[in-house]
Amino acid sequence: MISSDFILNHFPAGTLTIVKGAPAVGKTAFAISVALRLAQSNRRVLYFSLEMSQSRFVERMKLQIEEDELQDLKSRIVIDDTPQISLDQIRSKLERTSVDYVLVDYIQLLSPSSLATSRKEELISILQDLKLMAEECHVAIIGLFQLPKCFGMGESYNDLNNSDSDDDSAVDIPGINVGLIDRDGKYTSVASPFSS
């Protein structure tokens, strides 16, 4: 399981971190590991599971931890499985729930606060709103972000971000941490506002 030091170093309070990865590389397993470690460290977590039901999410947690211990930790992990939840709903729940970390699984399934002329503009608006939310509520927000299936098959992260296409993977905003889950399930920081 991921260490507490790793989480503190990579996901500071008041920041938004986007964790990118191709389908089926272990993004959700990574996020669940983060949530469990935080709960073990007496931190409260709000987990928005937009793709998976709460019951299925609990079954996934049981793959990483004994059921007896999970029962002790569940009070510190608040799971919301509302499909296509809006940013306004997330902010409302965050303001009503005392938590230290928020995880969103995953970003592209969120409903934006306002209409946009393109998918890319829509995603930029979502990321900007989440970044502001993290700063104002002083919580760490970790958002999973789906890359194309072709990622890792001869195409690099920089190739995607330097693309002029309207693809989701080309969306990045200054001041947001970006991490990458590779096909071996390893996490790597690829962009940080704290870098010198």
Tokens representing 106 are: 């995953």
**So what's the pLDDT on residue 195?**
42
Q: What's the pLDDT tens digit per position in 147-160?
A: 877 655 444 444 44
* Helix 54-62 and helix 27-40, axial crossing angle in degrees, nearest 10: 80
Instruction: Kindly report, residue by residue over 176-191, the tens digit of the pLDDT.
Output: 999 999 877 789 888 6
Region of poorest pLDDT, from 9-13, 83-87, 104-108, 156-160: 156-160
Q: How far apart are CA 65 and CA 60, in angstroms?
A: 9
Residue 73 has pLDDT above 80, yes or no: yes
Indicate whether 51 pLDDT > 50: yes
Single-letter amino acid code for the residue at 184: D
Q: List, in sequence order, every residue forming a beta bridge with 177; answer none if it has no partner.
A: 17
Whole-prediction pTM value?
0.86
pLDDT of residue 150: 60
pLDDT, tens digit, 9 for 90 and up, residues 113-143: 777 778 888 888 899 999 999 999 999 999 9
Give the chain's mean pLDDT. 85
| CATH topology for the 4-191 domain | Rossmann fold (3.40.50)
